[in-house]
Amino acid sequence: MKKKLAKITQAKTEWKDRSIFNFRIFVDYEEFGSQMIGGIGLDNYSEKHERRIGTAYGCEMLMQVLKVLDVNDLSEAEGKLIYIIGEGENLSFKPKGIEQLKLNGGKSVIFEEIAKDFIEI
């Protein structure tokens, strides 16, 4: 996998179209353009409750992202420099995770690794 240096321009949790809870991190790359990272559903539909409910997977994902960004709230990440870990080049670059700069501790999270612990993929 490759690492691309980026600056966070916005980070937030949201109800996508008021139905799916997710997080989004918007970045500007040093080398090229901008991109949205995340957009990963953090909840599931429950037949029993007839609505979407929070999941352990979603909680763990948010906790790990906050830990790597070293913030208490996603909105505090604006302006931070991070590496985006992914595959591909330029416009076909597909984000797989995030990493702190080494001078900030170098912590990282790969989104699929969290999913493997909670979701059968």
Whole-model pTM? 0.88
The reported pLDDT for the residue numbered 47 is 93
DSSP string, 48-86: TTTEEEE-HHHHHHHHHHHHHHT-SSGGGGTT-EEEEEE
| 120 has a pLDDT exceeding 90 | no
Give me the mean pLDDT over the 45-74 stretch. Answer: 92
The residues pairing with 18 across neighbouring beta strands, listed in sequence order, are none
Give me the mean pLDDT over the 99-110 stretch. Answer: 92
The residues pairing with 21 across neighbouring beta strands, listed in sequence order, are 15
Share of the chain above pLDDT 70, in %: 97
The reported pLDDT for the residue numbered 107 is 94
Structure confidence at residue 116 as a pLDDT band (50, 70, 90): confident
Pull the structure tokens for residue 24. 């989004």
Domain spans, the chain: 2-118
